[in-house]
Structure 1
């Protein structure tokens, strides 16, 4: 069995530990209270801080950054962590902006993480669309990540990234058949763009996962910011109403070990 440690630090930020590897997703460690501009008149205020301070993290082998240009996925304190990480994987456009040896991946491209005495991890970029059709000029490039390694029991670990349910994501999910899903939710909306959603609500997510039957679904990025419109209570109510599969809620700041 392959036990993997997941520690939810806040928002999209999760520390994943497996067989000596320490991988951090979308580092956000700023304190609450600041308002961040997302472009085209949209913004959001951070409501809660991280459950673990950046200074208390162990050494990080790799950072998986779904996108670099939104403060709820990479903030000032998170950005300061990048130079010390062994590897930074992100979008191609994000890697150009970040410099410093960040590796850019397009959907479908892979990167192999290797180190002596540890199993090799294959990281594959997966497609994400951070809003409705034709929103790319506003929202920019975003990717998700699929992680595979020898001995997985249930199948790949899929980090969806900030995305809506769209055809490319559905196609990738069915080809991948993930065993564990780190699911970005929250149903993001902004007053300036009305009813348009920029991430999935629960019904969208259940549609995306329909027929896949992952062993574990770990919701993240649904709390702690003003622009989320569906919190844990709303997600739970939607699951109860639709009879969807149970989600596993990661306790903030405490590692939970899951068979992947």
Structure 2
């Protein structure tokens, strides 16, 4: 495996195992079996429709879990929560770390934490809904992973977010190699057309600022509240400028892919 590129295994939903030279991290752990319906608060909820492609018992020892937020089960379900104590550290939002306790550490956007073997992670801005929705949907962060002191971000994980000004500012100045984007165009009947994660079209616009070498969509399948699936994302990237459209990469569930 090249030292400058990650090996990524898409487990399902937002969950991915990311392995760099000397580092293993897991994103947003979701390992419950399909079939159950989960309440997200304020009358919203979703049913899990697909199980994980990798079992928790088959994971390697984890240096860190990068948890965009702890309060929605499509980003942290019961089985995912059970494995958190086995990780070296759980990096998440500041209120999320207070709720989780134990080995959880909260990062506000812009804050950086050291990881083993010369790596570091910086929290990046995310907003999980329209303006003024934060009191309802809660805090979310993304993560920029890089070698300590490096200018280029080796891997950026968007977290559950819609486009907003702080995210655009980050994208315009960041130098990102691989981007894991939480898509799905999440909507709920209760709140009508309001979206809580990016569409494929919005992802294309964001990548026009980011200019990543590789774009990996996650968080677009496996739950009933995801309203935009792979086909719609593909259409959006097919219409994109070549430099953006050619970066799209789909990962087969459960199989490690070097990027």
Q: Which residue of 2 aligns with 1:67?
A: 69
2: distance between equivalents of 1:232 and 1:112? 35
1: distance between equivalents of 2:194 and 2:75? 20
* Structure 1 contact 156–176 (Cα < 8 Å) conserved: no
Q: Which residue of 2 aligns with 1:16?
A: 18
Could you say what the CA RMSD is over the residues aligned between the two structures, in angstroms?
Answer: 1.6
1: distance between equivalents of 2:73 and 2:209? 34
Q: Which residue of 1 aligns with 2:168?
A: 170
CA deviation after TM superposition for structure 1 residue 242, in Å: 4.1
Q: How does 1:128-167 map to 2 (within 5 A)?
A: 128-149=126-147, 155-167=153-165
Q: Which residue of 2 aligns with 1:195?
A: 193
Unaligned runs of 5+ in 2: none
Q: Which residue of 1 aligns with 2:55?
A: 53
Unaligned runs of 5+ in 1: none
Q: Which residue of 1 aligns with 2:258?
A: 257
* Structure 1 contact 129–162 (Cα < 8 Å) conserved: yes
Count of residues paired in the alignment: 254
* Structure 2 contact 31–52 (Cα < 8 Å) conserved: yes
* Structure 2 contact 239–245 (Cα < 8 Å) conserved: no
2: distance between equivalents of 1:156 and 1:171? 18
Instruction: Tell me the SS of whatever aligns to 1:200.
Output: coil
CA deviation after TM superposition for structure 1 residue 153, in Å: 10
Q: How does 1:55-134 map to 2 (within 5 A)?
A: 55-114=57-116, 118=117, 120-134=118-132
Q: Deviations over 1:101-147 (max 9, x none)?
A: 31000000000112xxx3x1110000000001111111100000000
2: distance between equivalents of 1:46 and 1:238? 26
Once structures 1 and 2 are overlaid, which stretch shifts more, 62-71 or 149-158? Answer: 149-158
CA deviation after TM superposition for structure 1 residue 155, in Å: 4.1
Q: How does 1:162-241 map to 2 (within 5 A)?
A: 162-241=160-239
CA deviation after TM superposition for structure 1 residue 77, in Å: 0.1
